Chains A and B, each alone.
Chain A
Amino acid sequence: MSGSPVFSAQGLTKVYQAGEVTVQALRGVTFDVGAGEFVVMLGPSGSGKSTLLNILGGLDVPTSGSVRWRDHDLSHASEKELTRYRREHVGFVFQFYNLIPSLTARENVELVTDLVPNPMTPEDALNIVGLSARLDHFPAQLSGGEQQRVAIARALAKRPECLLCDEPTGALDIETGRLVLEALARANEELATTTIVITHNATISAMAHRVLKLADGRLAASEVNSHRLTPAELQW
């Protein structure tokens, strides 16, 4: 059920310069993502998944190649344009949660709902991830998994056009993981949110429209799922 492409990447490379060593994180990646598509990205550690996601999310620019979001050229955008792009269109779930320790769960979500015209209430967003009872707790008072769920609520609350998640279930048990995935699936289903999820858990790929496999900075495979499972049907 993929519509016209919203993301389109052409020959993306990314080179990191860390002191005397250069690291080639991406070595020419080309692919499209359709509107409303649910994509799962797999690959061994260090294969370049986070790097690619950062570029799609406007956090970083490629060393060469081009990447577009609809009619926005993200590869040559200024810092200001990228900020606007992120603010208006993207929801992030970070690999390391990145909550503000001095703000409560509700306030961390408000941080995002204050930015956009048509957000969910922070309470609704936290309800989706099953944290209604922990609205006024600070990050240090939450478990690792609970912090991750606040991070997800924070991304969902904005009703973004595209949702980029870096290992959103990394710290979660099966039940809570399923809860989170259901929230993502629902957003994808009901709001047609284009969703890209990075994971080390291959089972999750069963709920995607398409699975992209990265290896050593290259796109190794792009497989379309003929039959999708709902989060409830996933076994791990």
Chain B
Amino acid sequence: MVRPLNRKLLRDLWRLKSQVITIALVVASGIGGYIGSLSAHASLAALRDGYYESARFAHVFAPVRRAPRAIVTRLRSLPGVLDLDPSIVAATTITIPGESDLMTGQIVSLPRDPDSGMNRVVLARGRWVEPDDDSGVLISQSFARARGIQPGQRLSVLMNGRQQAVTVRGIALSPAYIFAASQGGFADDTRFGVLWMPENRLASAYDLKGAFNLLSLRLGAHGDERSIITAVDKALANYGAAGAYARKDQLSHKMLTQEIEEQRVFGTVLPSVFLAVAIFLLHVLLSRHIATERTQIAALKAMGYGNGTIGAHYFAFTSVTVLFGVVLGVAVGYFFGRWMTGLYARVFSFPDFHFAIVGWVGASAVLLAVVSGVVATFSAVRAVMRLPAAEAMRPPAAPHFHRTFLDRLRLGALLPAPARMVVREIERRPLRTSLTTLGIASSAAIIIAGTWWGDAFAELVDSELFRRDRADVLLALNEPKAIGAFAEIRRLPGVLMAEAARTVPVRLRHGATEYRSALLGLDPDARLRRVQDAQGRDLPLTNGSLVINDRLARVLGVRVGDRIEVEPIEGTRRATHLVISAESGDLMGMYGYVTRRDAARLVGEGDTFNFARVRVDAAQDAHFFEAVRNTPGIAAAGDKRRMVANFRATSQHNLLMFATILSVFATCIAVGVVYNSARITLAEQSWELATLRVMGFTRAEVSWTLLGQLLVQMLIALPIGFLIGHALAAFILDLISSEEFRIPLVVDGGTYALAGTVMLAAGVATSLIVRRRIDQLDLIGVLKTRD
């Protein structure tokens, strides 16, 4: 390369530094988001897998009612099974002295030797519970943290209907309870805890001496999950097997994996939009830059500079910009990814932490940026190559203007000259105007796509926890009871309304597809738990009818009118066939609904119930929970009001973080687009603008010809951006939708308003900067040379 051209390159970069920097920021946002999210995804997945391996997390879980330990030896010979670990788990309620709050939890047995067994418990703080310790427990770190529990704290837990005093000896972690939640509930660390105690204590409390109720299995590389599950179920059938399930159906693993997967979606979708915008910005900047240098380029050619040299000169211009963005992006990506990995590793309570930019992610990011740069530069540089050298001998071309639409309507005369300039400029370059508009629109869309989650979750909570389930508390019984016992629940203090339910775990089959689910048996006139279709209309339940969730129907490949096989995993276990009478539109969970009578019949019972939904007078809350605690037979109670409040608080905190980060990125883009287009227009029109000033137009009037274009573009861009944002939200939803729940596509006015406000703020900030530039316009200098 030739020295003076290099100097020109440096000076051009310096002169256009603010544009170069804003574009580099957009590139950096895209690259940073991409590297950060995908590396966080890979790091978290690696942390998870490493943790699982070191803690010997099981591959298959087989819950039973009560099976003798002797059977373990028999199962050991199953082909593909590496190891088995019998243990005891039990649902419980936890009471912290002095707190009225009702908390549920799970008690899990500890092996004699802390280094044996599966799903190994790792001590985070405090000390281990010795086998002969008759009151010590370990407690899950997330619960301890949420409740401020320290070793030494005394608690009371419900064991087989009796309150037992225990003392926390240590705080611990387990791969099986990374997400701790009661089945089907929201993960709520303040209201759900896991306790570990020596196996012999659990066994004697639950009358499981020499027996177990959960068998964990680790499989060899060639172990076939499906056939092992079938074999295990068969072997345990006589011991009240509740149906073995694979790791992918394990609650904690499922939630953890879903969370980690979301990183991947965010890591690809949003940065793609960012990079597309960056390509567009680079392209516009470079083609406008080149357009203003046409005569210089022609002169260079006339002097004998070849196409290659000149092309390389302009290519270098974008390369430097992109490179700058890449370097910045890798740094941003590293810190963003590290921060996110740390955040999640803490939420997930991973015992160790490690973050690294994954090689292929970094390499593909750089490649992506380079390709973006080439794409953005290609047509502009080709235009340079095609530019005839004779151009240098001609006066700078006066651009072609048309009589505008406005002129044709004869409205033009009504507008002052600067306004006419605005309209003609916009009409003269329809492509550029639409591209700039699209750029502004995409920034608005990114803000929406990043922040609508709050609206969606609010709708989710509202739909599932208020419109469909209107109870305050859900009580679970240890064992189904005859309906006569329901009067006892009605009599609990503070109960305003109570409804009984009989829930039966089932396997649903249609053809070759099978799904583990549950049938919720409700009374036909139930008011507290409603079965509703996707539009929120109540679906009536009558004896003999079966309503199933629409997502479940898709999984099974059935529709209304089809027969499916229903096999209860409890009681008689006798499979029957039922005809689907309607589909419900619940957003969470995949259940079927029958009448309580039908549910009881399915398992060969009479008029029974095992759940109760209760409305409680808020003023008598404490009395109510006190009474529940002292009622034998109630295994667990879910306090919906507190759960919702807590869920809102934590999710709002996380959403706010995420929204803030995205807004920063989107603002970079917005400012990048708006500022660049204003600056380039200024460069192109500075000659005209200076001429106007010389002719006596005021600074304000001259500014308006430029800012007017910006304003018009903004006004067109915002509604388009709202539409794109909505579409982008739908697209992301589609990518992260899981079987477990459906996030409703709801974008509130407030979210649009936020996007609009951020964009307008970017517009105003840009206007002020540009206005200052116009004020400083060097009239004589501008008129002397046309560059």
A residues touching B (Cβ–Cβ < 8 Å)?
Answer: 50, 53-54, 57-60, 79-80, 82-84, 86-88, 90, 92, 94-96, 98-103, 107-108, 110-112, 114-115, 139-140, 144, 147, 154, 166
Q: Which residues of chain A come closer than 8 Å to B298, judged between CB atoms?
A: 98
Q: Which residues of chain B come closer than 8 Å to A83, judged between CB atoms?
A: 301, 304-307
- A87 to B299: give the CA distance in the assembly, Å: 12
A88 touches B393 (CB 8 A): no
A11 CB to nearest B CB, Å:
20
Interface stretch (choices B5-13, B226-234, B442-450):
B5-13
Closest A residue to B1 by CB, please name it: A114
A115 touches B393 (CB 8 A): no
Interface stretch (choices B34-42, B417-425, B779-787):
B779-787
Q: Which residues of chain A come closer than 8 Å to B8, judged between CB atoms?
A: 100, 102-103, 107
B residues touching A (Cβ–Cβ < 8 Å)?
Answer: 2-5, 7-8, 11-12, 15, 295-296, 298-307, 388-390, 392-396, 778, 781, 784-785, 787
A54 touches B393 (CB 8 A): yes
Q: Is the interface of B mostly helix, strand, loop or mixed?
A: helix
Known: A60-B390, A115-B2. A92 touches B307 (CB 8 A): no
Q: Which residues of chain A come closer than 8 Å to B307, judged between CB atoms?
A: 79, 83
B296 CB to nearest A CB, Å:
5
Closest B residue to A84 by CB, please name it: B304
Closest A residue to B778 by CB, please name it: A140
B456 CB to nearest A CB, Å:
51
Q: Which residues of chain B come closer than 8 Å to A166, judged between CB atoms?
A: 393
Q: Which residues of chain A come closer than 8 Å to B304, judged between CB atoms?
A: 83-84, 86-88, 90, 115
| Interface residue from B3, B296, B301, B388 paired with A100 (Cβ < 8 Å) | B296
Closest B residue to A85 by CB, please name it: B304
B299 touches A94 (CB 8 A): yes
What would 20 more interface pairs be, CB under 8 Å, given A94-B392, A111-B2?
Answer: A54-B390, A60-B389, A60-B390, A83-B301, A87-B306, A92-B302, A94-B299, A94-B302, A96-B295, A98-B295, A99-B299, A101-B787, A102-B7, A102-B787, A103-B4, A103-B7, A107-B7, A111-B300, A140-B778, A147-B785
B784 touches A144 (CB 8 A): yes
Q: Which residues of chain B come closer than 8 Å to A58, judged between CB atoms?
A: 389
A111 touches B302 (CB 8 A): no
Complex A-B: 8 CB contacts under 8 Å: A59-B392, A60-B389, A86-B304, A87-B305, A102-B8, A103-B4, A107-B7, A166-B393
- A5 to B336: give the CA distance in the assembly, Å: 72
Closest A residue to B385 by CB, please name it: A79
- A95 to B298: give the CA distance in the assembly, Å: 13
| Interface residue from B11, B295, B784 paired with A140 (Cβ < 8 Å) | B784
Q: Which residues of chain A come closer than 8 Å to B302, judged between CB atoms?
A: 57, 59, 86, 92, 94, 98
Q: Which residues of chain A come closer than 8 Å to B389, judged between CB atoms?
A: 58-60, 82, 86
| Interface residue from B4, B393, B787 paired with A110 (Cβ < 8 Å) | B4
- A88 to B306: give the CA distance in the assembly, Å: 12
- A101 to B3: give the CA distance in the assembly, Å: 16
Closest B residue to A115 by CB, please name it: B304
Q: Which residues of chain A come closer than 8 Å to B781, judged between CB atoms?
A: 140
Q: Which residues of chain A come closer than 8 Å to B396, judged between CB atoms?
A: 96
B299 touches A98 (CB 8 A): yes
Q: Which residues of chain A come closer than 8 Å to B7, judged between CB atoms?
A: 102-103, 107
In order of increasing CB-CB distance, the 10 nearest A-B pairs are A87-B304, A98-B299, A102-B11, A101-B787, A59-B390, A60-B390, A86-B304, A59-B389, A111-B4, A110-B4
Q: Which residues of chain B come closer than 8 Å to A112, judged between CB atoms?
A: 303
B144 CB to nearest A CB, Å:
65
Q: Which residues of chain A come closer than 8 Å to B12, judged between CB atoms?
A: 102
B286 CB to nearest A CB, Å:
16
Q: Which residues of chain B come closer than 8 Å to A99, judged between CB atoms?
A: 299, 785
Known: A96-B396, A110-B4, A140-B784. A87 touches B303 (CB 8 A): yes
A73 CB to nearest B CB, Å:
18
- A114 to B6: give the CA distance in the assembly, Å: 12
Q: Which residues of chain A come closer than 8 Å to B390, judged between CB atoms?
A: 54, 59-60
- A58 to B302: give the CA distance in the assembly, Å: 8
A87 CB to nearest B CB, Å:
3
B393 touches A139 (CB 8 A): no
A89 CB to nearest B CB, Å:
9
Q: Which residues of chain B come closer than 8 Å to A147, judged between CB atoms?
A: 785
B784 touches A114 (CB 8 A): no
- A111 to B310: give the CA distance in the assembly, Å: 12
A59 touches B295 (CB 8 A): no
A118 CB to nearest B CB, Å:
15
- A83 to B175: give the CA distance in the assembly, Å: 71
- A82 to B305: give the CA distance in the assembly, Å: 11
B2 touches A139 (CB 8 A): no
- A60 to B298: give the CA distance in the assembly, Å: 12
- A147 to B295: give the CA distance in the assembly, Å: 15
Closest A residue to B3 by CB, please name it: A114
Known: A83-B304, A111-B5, A112-B303. A50 touches B11 (CB 8 A): no
Q: Which of A95, A96, A98 has the most CB of B within 10 A?
A: A98
Closest B residue to A83 by CB, please name it: B306
A135 CB to nearest B CB, Å:
13
A95 CB to nearest B CB, Å:
6
- A79 to B15: give the CA distance in the assembly, Å: 32
Q: Which residues of chain A come closer than 8 Å to B785, judged between CB atoms?
A: 99, 101, 139-140, 147
Q: Which of B7, B390, B393, B395 has the most CB of A within 10 A?
A: B393
- A171 to B776: give the CA distance in the assembly, Å: 28
A114 touches B392 (CB 8 A): no
Q: Which residues of chain A come closer than 8 Å to B388, judged between CB atoms?
A: 59-60
B784 touches A98 (CB 8 A): no
Q: Which residues of chain A come closer than 8 Å to B393, judged between CB atoms?
A: 50, 53-54, 59, 94-96, 166
- A50 to B296: give the CA distance in the assembly, Å: 18
- A139 to B782: give the CA distance in the assembly, Å: 11
Q: Which of A86, A87, A100, A108 has the most CB of B within 10 A?
A: A100
- A112 to B307: give the CA distance in the assembly, Å: 16
Closest A residue to B388 by CB, please name it: A60
A204 CB to nearest B CB, Å:
19
B306 touches A80 (CB 8 A): yes
Q: Which residues of chain B come closer than 8 Å to A95, judged between CB atoms?
A: 393, 395
B332 CB to nearest A CB, Å:
31
A119 CB to nearest B CB, Å:
12
Q: Which residues of chain A come closer than 8 Å to B295, judged between CB atoms?
A: 96, 98
Q: Which residues of chain B come closer than 8 Å to A54, judged between CB atoms?
A: 390, 393
B3 touches A110 (CB 8 A): yes
- A86 to B307: give the CA distance in the assembly, Å: 13
Q: Which residues of chain B come closer than 8 Å to A115, judged between CB atoms?
A: 2, 303-305
Q: Which residues of chain A come closer than 8 Å to B11, judged between CB atoms?
A: 102-103
- A90 to B303: give the CA distance in the assembly, Å: 8
Q: Which of A54, A90, A99 has the most CB of B within 10 A?
A: A54
A111 touches B303 (CB 8 A): yes
- A50 to B11: give the CA distance in the assembly, Å: 32
Q: Which residues of chain B come closer than 8 Å to A53, judged between CB atoms?
A: 393
Q: Which of B15, B306, B392, B778 has the most CB of A within 10 A?
A: B392
- A54 to B302: give the CA distance in the assembly, Å: 9
B293 CB to nearest A CB, Å:
8
A74 CB to nearest B CB, Å:
13
A122 CB to nearest B CB, Å:
10
- A134 to B787: give the CA distance in the assembly, Å: 20
Q: Which residues of chain A come closer than 8 Å to B303, judged between CB atoms?
A: 86-87, 92, 111-112, 115, 154
- A110 to B4: give the CA distance in the assembly, Å: 7
- A154 to B388: give the CA distance in the assembly, Å: 21
Q: Which of B8, B299, B305, B306 has the most CB of A within 10 A?
A: B299
B13 CB to nearest A CB, Å:
10
- A98 to B307: give the CA distance in the assembly, Å: 18
